[in-house]
A and B are shown apart, each in its own frame.
Chain A
Amino acid sequence: MAKSTNLVPHKKDVPAKAASRTSGETESSLKGTFAAVLLLGGFIILTWAGVFLLFLARQ
């Protein structure tokens, strides 16, 4: 669904071939980004849980 809406504006300004290539790339090439943000999320959870445990220990 995202793909079809995404292709429409491409047609206007870039050759169709390039457009489908870039859009294909965009949809598949952010794996590293995803991994990086998940690491970030994991860090947040760990630190939060750490202080929460400290809170419970002092309760």
Chain B
Amino acid sequence: MHMHRLEKWWLVFGISMLAIFLLVLGTATFAMGVTPPGEHRHTVNPETVTQNEPFDKPGLRQVGDNEYEAVILAFVFGYSPDRIELPVGAKVNFVLTSTDVVHGFHIIGTNVNMMAVPGEVNHTSYTFKEPGEYLVLCNEYCGAAHEQMQMRIIVK
């Protein structure tokens, strides 16, 4: 098949561009651990999840030096807990699931943006470097009052 000389150069350019994008993303993901959320598989029964560890006591617990685990339940139309307070610089490992339908969990202004899927547990980490009142909202349609589903993270 004949291809114009310049088209070949264009494809070389374009494919190299895509390869570089992938290389950057891949390095960040696999070598530096900047992965999308939800790495290890961990299932729960959405009907009994609130009776078992750790989701029987959702909330914040300290696990290290200014490091915390935040266990969060999403449900129609809110989160438990609906407010978390943290010191500046705290690293938080989020553990999230849903007791009913699919929800979202987006901390505005950060890269924490993940799905709460019933039966699955999602994980991600974030270090709060800036003080402020962070808005967390559900960004997956979950029903009639979806637009009211939110919580706050206060960093002082």
Contacts and interface: CB of A to CB of B under 8 A. Distances in A.
Complex A–B touching at CB under 8 A: yes
Interface of A: 2, 5-6, 26-27, 30-31, 33-34, 37-38, 41, 44-45, 48, 52, 55, 58-59
B17 A6 contact: no
Given A2-B5, A30-B6, A38-B13, A58 B109 contact: yes
B14 interface: yes
Interface in B1-25: 2-7, 9-10, 13-14, 17, 21, 24
Given A27-B5, A41-B17, A48-B21, A55 B111 contact: yes
B135 interface: no
A34 B10 CA distance: 7
B111 A58 contact: yes
Contacts of B3: 2
Given A38-B10, A59-B111, 11 more contacts: A2-B3, A5-B2, A27-B4, A30-B6, A34-B9, A37-B10, A37-B14, A41-B10, A41-B13, A48-B21, A58-B109
